[in-house]
Structures are given as structure tokens and as C-alpha cells.
Structure 1
Amino acid sequence: MTRLHLVRHGPTHAKSMVGWSDLPADLGDTAAIARLAAHLPAGAVVISSDLSRATATADAIQGPRVRLPHDRDLREMHFGSWELRTHAEIEAEDPARIRAFWERPGDTRPPGGESWHDLRSRVDGAIDRLIAAHPGRELVVVAHFGVILSQVQRALDLAPEQAFARRIDNLSVTALTRLPGGWDTGEINHRP
């Protein structure tokens, strides 16, 4: 039994599509960060995406926990040419594709980017490797909206549209446990 504590990084305050762009996190809410750090198990192993908004959040909550090297496969979805553009800008240019991306996210890719299925495959592999390398441990994974939702989809066996419609707040924790026969879910989008 391996328990994952999936933490969404601190806010970037961007009002655009932010995937692989390396925007910093606002970690000014020190009370929220302290509550989050206190909520997480002291003996856990911490890993994050390699993007600075995730690494800085992991640094802020690490405390005495063991830290693993950052993992590029825990990055947010790659939005390709939509990166750092607003929904209004994209809709004005390619309304059919952006509508399909939100309504049927499974196979729809932004130009030069990833589909939901691509993201899910990449993140499933990263999480599976992490679980195999640290069986029976408590793992704190500091990552992104899409990364966390991909694992909620996996654990609850949801359609991409169902997973994509869920909310994951900045500095929230989603708890999933990998059991021998499947998954058990704890709190999703919990704000300590």
C-alpha cells in the first residue's frame, strides 16, 4: 500500500494557459503553506515537477522530509502554441479546436501540444515508477492541475471529461492510495 499526497503548487496568478512555461509561484501566504506542511506526513518522501512553481512549493513544505530529484514527467500538460495565451485569444483563432479541447479532452491536442490522453500516459508512467521505487511509503508529489486530475481520473475510473471538470485548487492536497487490487481515494482538493 503506497499513499500519494498530490499537492498543487502555489498560484501563478496567470490568466492564460500555463503548461510548460516556467512561471514562479506566489508563496506569500505563509499561513497556508504552514498548514499544508503540517497536514502532510512527516516521514513522507517529497518529489516535484521540474518547473519552478512546483519546486519552490516543494521546498516550502519539505521540512524534515526526504527530497527526491525533480521529475520532468510530472509537468503540466503541454499547451503547444496555446501556451501563455488567453482563452479568448485562442477562441478567436481556432474556436472549434478549443471547444473540442474543453468538451472532449481525450484526443484533442493544442497545436504542437499534448492531448489529455498524452498527459495521462506520461503521468501514469511517472507515478508507476515512483510507486515501484518506494513501495509502502507516503509520497508527497508537488505538481499541477492536470497531473493531479489525471490520477483522480485513474483512481476513480472516470472519463476524461468527468476528470477535467473537477476542481483542484492551488496549495490543495488530493490523497490516493495504491492498493494491490486497485486504488482507494481519500480527500480530493482538500485545503488544510
Structure 2
Amino acid sequence: MMRFWWLRHGPTGVARAIGHTDVPATFPDTAALERLRAALPAGAALVSSDLRRARQTAGRLGLDGPRLPDMPALRELDFGRWEDRSFAEIDLSEPEASRTFWTCPGPTPAPGGESWDDLCARVGGAVSVLEAAAPAEDLVIVAHAGSIRAALALALGLGAERAFAFRIDPLSLTRIDRLGSAWAVDRVNVRP
């Protein structure tokens, strides 16, 4: 059995499409980090997306297990030319593309970016690599809301529309266990 402890990075305070845009996290609630640290298993291996907000969060956890190299494959969805733009601005400037992207999220990419299917394939590949190489039964993965939804979709066999229904808050935990060839979702969006 292997336990994947998915942790969304700390809040950014940004209300724009910042998939691959490298913005820092903020940590106004240090008690939340303490509660997270206490909820995570001792000796767990730790890996994060290579984006600053995930790396900062991983660094602040202060876990005692091995630290694996950052993985670009754990990044948020690439919003392409919509990066760093407000969702209202995207809707106004490209209403047709925006409507298609959000109402048919599986195969439809953001202009110049990724589709939900692309994100799921990327995250699925990362999970396979981590599963084969992780030095512990418990692996803490500091990533992004989209990456965590992709992991849930893969574990539960969900399409994009169903996976988007999951709320994934900053500094929340989602645990997905690998039991042989099966997956079991233990918890989603828990704030210890």
C-alpha cells in the first residue's frame, strides 16, 4: 500500500488564471501550517511542483522524511495566453473559447495551453514515476488544485466535469491510497 498525501499550496491572494505563472504563496495563518505538519505522517517523503508557491509551502512544512526533486509534471493546468488574466477579462475578450473550454473541459485546451485531458495525462505520468521511485509508503505531494483534481479523476475514473466539482482549498489535504492495482480515496479537501 502507498498513501499519497496531496496538499494544495498556500494561498496566493491572486484571483486570475495563474496555472504556470510563478507567483509566491502567502502564509498569514502559521497555525494552519502547524496543524498540517501534525496531520502528516512522520518519515513521509516529500515532493512538490516546481512552481514557487508549491516549493515555498513544501519548505515551510519542515517534514523529517526525504525530499525528492521538484517535478514540473505536478504543475497546475497551463492556461496558455490566458495566463495571469482575470477570468472576467478572459470571458469578455474570448467568450466563445472561454465557454467551450469551461463547458467541454476534457479535450478542449485553453488557447495556447493545455486541455484537462493533457493535465490528467501529465499528472498520471508523474504519479506512476513517484509510485515506482518513492522511498516511503507515505508521500506528501505539494501541488495545485488542478493537479489534485486530476489525481482524483484518475483514481475515481471521473471525467473533467465531475472532477471540477471537487473543492480544493489552499493548505487542504486530499489523501488517495494505492492498494495493489486499485485506488481508495481516504479524504478530500480536509483542513486540519
Q: So what's the TM-score if we normalise by structure 1?
A: 0.97
Indicate if the aligned counterparts of 1:119 and 1:147 stay in contact, CA closer than 8 A: yes
Structure 1 unaligned blocks of 5 or more? none
Indicate if the aligned counterparts of 1:16 and 1:84 stay in contact, CA closer than 8 A: yes
Question: Which residue matches 2:40?
Answer: 40
Partner SS state of residue 91, structure 2: helix
Separation of aligned partners in 2, 1:156 and 1:135? 25
Separation of aligned partners in 2, 1:167 and 1:45? 25
Indicate if the aligned counterparts of 2:48 and 2:70 stay in contact, CA closer than 8 A: yes
CA shift in 2, pair 1:6/1:47, >3 Å: same
**Amino acid in the other structure paired with 1:76:** E
1:91-150: CA deviations, max 9, x gaps?
A: 111112111222221011111100000011011001110001127610000000000000
Indicate if the aligned counterparts of 1:2 and 1:135 stay in contact, CA closer than 8 A: no
Question: Which residue matches 2:142?
Answer: 142
Q: After the TM superposition, which residues 113-124 of structure 1 pair with which residues of structure 2 at under 5 Å, given as runs? A: 113-124=113-124
Separation of aligned partners in 1, 2:178 and 2:106? 24
Partner SS state of residue 108, structure 1: coil
Moved more, 173-182 or 49-58: 173-182
CA RMSD of aligned residues (A): 1.1
**Amino acid in the other structure paired with 1:189:** N
Structure 1 runs (4+) deviating above 6 angstroms are none
Separation of aligned partners in 2, 1:62 and 1:50? 17
**Amino acid in the other structure paired with 1:61:** L
Structure 2 unaligned blocks of 5 or more? none
Separation of aligned partners in 2, 1:135 and 1:181? 19
Partner SS state of residue 27, structure 2: coil
Separation of aligned partners in 2, 1:55 and 1:134? 18
Separation of aligned partners in 2, 1:171 and 1:94? 32
Indicate if the aligned counterparts of 1:17 and 1:87 stay in contact, CA closer than 8 A: yes
**Amino acid in the other structure paired with 1:107:** P
Q: So what's the TM-score if we normalise by structure 2?
A: 0.97
Shift of 1:9: 0.0
Separation of aligned partners in 2, 1:63 and 1:186? 21
Indicate if the aligned counterparts of 1:46 and 1:62 stay in contact, CA closer than 8 A: no
Q: After the TM superposition, which residues 44-123 of structure 1 pair with which residues of structure 2 at under 5 Å, given as runs? A: 44-123=44-123
Question: Which residue matches 2:31?
Answer: 31
**Amino acid in the other structure paired with 1:36:** L
Indicate if the aligned counterparts of 1:49 and 1:142 stay in contact, CA closer than 8 A: yes
Question: Which residue matches 1:180?
Answer: 180
Q: Percent identity?
A: 49
Number of residue pairs matched? 192
